[in-house]
Chain A
Amino acid sequence: MKSLRKYLDRIKPQFEPGGRLHAFQSVFDGFETFLFTPTTTSRSGVSIHDSLDSKRVMIIVVLALVPCLLFGMYNVGYQHWLSIGETQFPFWQLMAYGFLALLPRLLVSYIVGLGIEFVVAQWRKEEIQEGFLVSGILIPLICPIEIPLWMLAVATAFSVIFVKEIFGGTGYNIFNVALVTRAVLFFGYPSKMSGDSVFVSTGSICGLGEGAVVDGFSGATPLGQIASNTGDTLTLTNVIGEPLSLWDMFVGLIPGSVGETSTLCILIGAAILLATGIASWRIMLSVFAGGFVMAAIAHACPSASYPASMLTPLQQLTLGGFAFAAVYMATDPVTASRTNPGKYIYGFLIGVIAVLIRTYNNGYPEGAMLAVLLMNAFAPLIDYTVVQSNIRRRLRRLKTKV
């Protein structure tokens, strides 16, 4: 470590103003503070600070996403193996296939997003902010595996620039960056974001998983199947037409966006976030509560014209991106409600609206993304009313005095 520190100290002057590489000062600073805790000491106010900083916060969220990421890789492989009619599922081959399928997407998302962050940080003469470390891993996880890389790059760039940077960077954005990326893809390139051919990777990669897709293959996600369901009964199947149980949906060996199929892994991530106190349990709990209540209402009056109303509440909570949105998206502290009473309202309404859209608008089988984005827009209003009640309490106190 000492030699690394010495090396950094030696090359540091080149990055300072007037140095040869001063255009990369923010990048150097970013790497230096990543490797060594800054030795800046407090100049005013408190002389000691808590060890928690935004790097720690972001890295805990990334850690909480790792179960979903690993399972997502496995599931990409598994769905492929299933679709080419294999009955043997060799673990490492599946993982390798999934890894190779996901890696370019991760790289594109990080290179485009962090690249923009680096440039903006240098332009503003600021430190590089860590927000995109999380967004960069979220983006591939909430997109279908077959999304073309150039679309991912365009959507990521659009989202980082117009949703985050023009508002001032991490901490100032109104909408969740990763979700806007998905929304841009969803509305801009709908044929690549839904349907039955984008959620399962069908080609072979580097010689892995060679074979033709079996007859009767359908890569539609359960929610996609629901949207096109007719009649009074609902049967959900996997890619080769076998029926799905609630357990399959919970474990997540179903087609869907890469990271959001496994409710089990999402719950492991939720446990990490709640145990460390990084995410708000108020939001998480109330999203699930809201979703459950709305799903129960819908399920109480099932209708053939709205097939999703035939899903039980538990199916509603395990399918699609609902759980993922509840745990990783709704809890983003920057775009969520910031007051404690506000968090309950914010979370509950996300749950309700997600199921509402999903059930009663067949055109949008995935309601969670829209619900979170909609409530992002309303979070300041919710906070406003909570703050207003504090102000009224203070005014009342003044009046009773006089």
Chain B
Amino acid sequence: MAKAIKLKKGLDIRIHGVAPSERLKRIIPASCAVVPDDYQGITPKIDVKEGDAVLAGSVLFHDKQYPDVKVVSPVAGTIQSVVRGERRKLERIVIIPSQTPEESKRFDTSGIDDSVLAQRLLLDSGLWAWMRQRPFNIVPAPGTEPRDIMVTGFDSSPLAPDYEMSLDGHKEDINAAVRLLGKFTKGNIYIGIRRGSCLTDIKGAETIIFDGPHPAGNAGIQIANINPVNKGDVVWTLDAVTLMRIGHLVNTGTLDMNVDVAVTGCEVKTPGYINTIAGADIASLTEGNIHDDNVHHRIISGNVLTGHPVGKDSYLRFPYNHITVIPEGDDHAEFMGWASLSPQKMSVSRSFPGHFTKRLFCPDARILGGRRAMIMSGLYDKVLPMDIMAEFLIKAVISRNIDRMEQLGIYEVAPEDFALCEYVDPSKLELQKILQEGLEYIRKELN
């Protein structure tokens, strides 16, 4: 029987537009893109130019500091454009899929019992860049040995996709991936799962059941409740779908970049899963599936808490296999909203009648108030199931006090762990942004 951890703190936000567990269709996207900003910790050096032909697994760019860390194309095709922004910052690389979009470069999987060759395989295939490390939530530096490896076996965020559908029937891949990752650490490989998951009895990994509301599925929360990250520790984190991809690579020598994308949210006509390729363009995925109701829409690549608001002409961003569409709300004039007793208002506060109903809500993107100093106390702690004093850590980050940040556990957290705190905050502070800037600051100062 797997060990079970019950988390009491947290919050499940109930939103309309849950995707039922069935694949609607398969879509070969009109174009795919890779966005370097999604690979935190990498300074991109581009390896391709417009017009180049690539296969799934061909290198698009590598890291300036560790040239072995590469990010690869998810699809076979032609580089359509390399888009640069201000000061020639690399914004995205767009690829037009060929007739055989899934055609993958072949990788040499021989000799991977040796950890150096195993590392080479992961780096070359680009799957290394799909992992993250605590502290800092960045792509792991090659050559470091992690204390443990944490695999998240489910996503608990609002309207999140169910990994089980993608994982079903890939037990062999999972086992192979765990064998490979086992070569990198003397510690444990933990897999955090929900009850009833297919990810049980995996040799070489310890499965741990997490009960409780979001953010129970976050890697940071799971590792904090198993064995917290201390100063000096490095823990790698990845999700179970990436784990499956690693296994597929080990077993076949090819990359499988197909994803089941959950298209969800109250502005979607038919929520459901679409089988497509990583980095697919949003227009292909949402074509004809968004309500035509004359309100402004916000299309989010990811979930409502941590995802990126993107336009219709944008792309599915890593690491999300999730699209949420909600009303933007900037065209909505609400009279004295702060005094409202409407049950439509979604809140954790008992001062709103909606708090007591079991209904689903359709929230929009307004911040519903004005930015203020921290006034209410203790609200963050109710939704953060870690031994972290959230308010005080945030204050230490704002004051750029590195000693204090260390003492209060900055190495244990990632911005996504504070997403719910940001959601409930009546002072409407941008906590994830504050924390992200703090993490970047401390990383720069320590180097």
Contact = CB atoms under 8 A, between A and B. Distances in A.
Interface string A98-135: 00000000000000000000000000000101010000
Contacts of B340: 51
A401 B333 contact: no
B367 A41 contact: yes
Interface stretch (B73-81, B96-104, B110-118, B344-352): B344-352
A90 interface: no
B409 interface: yes
A41 B427 contact: no
Contacts of B326: 47-48
B133 to A, nearest CB: 18
Given A39-B332, A56-B349, A171-B374, A47 B304 contact: yes
A208 to B, nearest CB: 33
Contacts of A209: none
Interface string B157-188: 00000000000000000000000000000000
Interface in B401-436: 407-409, 415, 419, 422-428, 430-433
A41 B366 contact: yes
Interface string A1-33: 110110000000000000000000000000001
Nearest to A48: B363
Q: Among A41, A333, A391, A397, which residue has the most Cβ atoms of chain B within 10 A?
A: A41
Nearest to A279: B376
A56 B370 contact: no
Contact of B231 (A46, A276, A383, A398): A398
A59 B337 CA distance: 12
Interface residues of A, number: 63
Given A338-B391, A393-B387, A39 B329 contact: yes
B365 A57 contact: no
B372 A48 contact: no
A14 B425 CA distance: 33
A49 B367 CA distance: 5
B121 to A, nearest CB: 31
Contacts of B351: 52, 56, 60, 276-278
Interface in A346-402: 383, 386-387, 390-391, 393-395, 397-398, 401
A54 interface: yes
B336 A35 contact: yes
Interface string B324-347: 101011111111111110000111
Interface string B211-238: 0000000000000000010111100000
A339 interface: yes
Interface string B296-309: 00101000111101
B388 to A, nearest CB: 8
Nearest to A336: B377
A46 B306 contact: yes
B10 to A, nearest CB: 14
A170 B331 CA distance: 30
B368 interface: yes
B85 interface: no
A6 to B, nearest CB: 10
Contacts of B337: 36-37, 51
Given A48-B365, A170-B372, A278-B351, A53 B408 contact: no
A301 to B, nearest CB: 37
A340 B381 CA distance: 9
A87 interface: no
A125 to B, nearest CB: 13
B66 interface: no
A233 interface: no
Contacts of B415: 45
B446 interface: no
A203 interface: no
Contacts of A45: 306, 415, 419, 422, 430-433
Interface in B386-404: 387, 389, 391-392
B422 A46 contact: yes
Interface in B350-382: 350-352, 354, 363-378, 381
B338 A59 contact: yes
B335 A1 contact: yes
B292 to A, nearest CB: 21
A339 B389 contact: yes
A275 B415 CA distance: 32
B54 interface: no
Nearest to A394: B409
Contacts of B332: 39
B13 interface: yes
Given A5-B333, A41-B329, A340-B378, A51 B350 contact: no
B373 to A, nearest CB: 3
Contacts of A59: 338-339
10 contacts: A37-B368, A39-B331, A41-B298, A49-B425, A50-B346, A50-B424, A56-B338, A59-B338, A277-B350, A401-B233
List 6 A-B pairs, minimum CB-CB distance, nearest first.
A53-B369, A171-B373, A37-B337, A45-B432, A55-B338, A338-B377
Interface of A: 1-2, 4-5, 33-57, 59-60, 127, 129, 131, 168-172, 275-278, 280, 333-334, 336-340, 343, 383, 386-387, 390-391, 393-395, 397-398, 401
Given A50-B368, A387-B392, 8 more contacts: A38-B366, A38-B368, A42-B309, A49-B368, A51-B354, A59-B338, A338-B378, A397-B228
